[in-house]
Amino acid sequence: MELDALKKATEEFKALGANFIAISPQLQSFNRELTEEKKLTFEILSDPGNEVAKRYGLKFKLPDDLKEVYLKFNIDLEKYNGDGSWTLPLPTGLIIDGDGIIRHAEINADYTMRPDPEETIAALKKIMD
């Protein structure tokens, strides 16, 4: 998804009285740097060691061959995540209500397929009806 489309979706969430929050295993310093560099309008929370992802069954370990591909593109998860686990969370979009109840979930086992914020917005509107 393009950055402009993501920023627009963030504004739509706000207009509906909801917050768009990203959670990443990256160290907070890298999340902060990304937020500033890209002028993001949403918060990125840090999940060190993918512990929250693990609790929800969303944590997976990259296979060695994929790790090598990442390193060829100078993507060093050990550096960015601050540990040597080479784990990531599955791409997930959740709508969680004020009581902490998950009202909608979109999870993709294909780590390259991110949830579409527009679909999440449509689900939020349906829930609010």
Burial of 4 (0-12, 13-18, 19+ CB in 10 A): exposed
Phi/psi of residue 99, each to 5°?
A: -95, 5
Q: Is the pLDDT of residue 3 over 80?
A: no
Alpha helix positions (H), 16-116? 28-38, 51-55, 64-72, 77-81
Share of the chain above pLDDT 90, in %: 83
Q: What is the CATH number of the domain that holds 64?
A: 3.40.30.10
50-97 pLDDT tens trace: 999 999 999 999 999 999 999 999 999 999 999 999 999 999 999 999
CB count, 10 Å around CB of 78? Answer: 12
Average pLDDT over residues 1-22: 87
Residue 95 structural domain = 3-128
For the chain, how many structural domains are there in total?
1
Model-level pTM? 0.85
CB count, 10 Å around CB of 59? Answer: 19
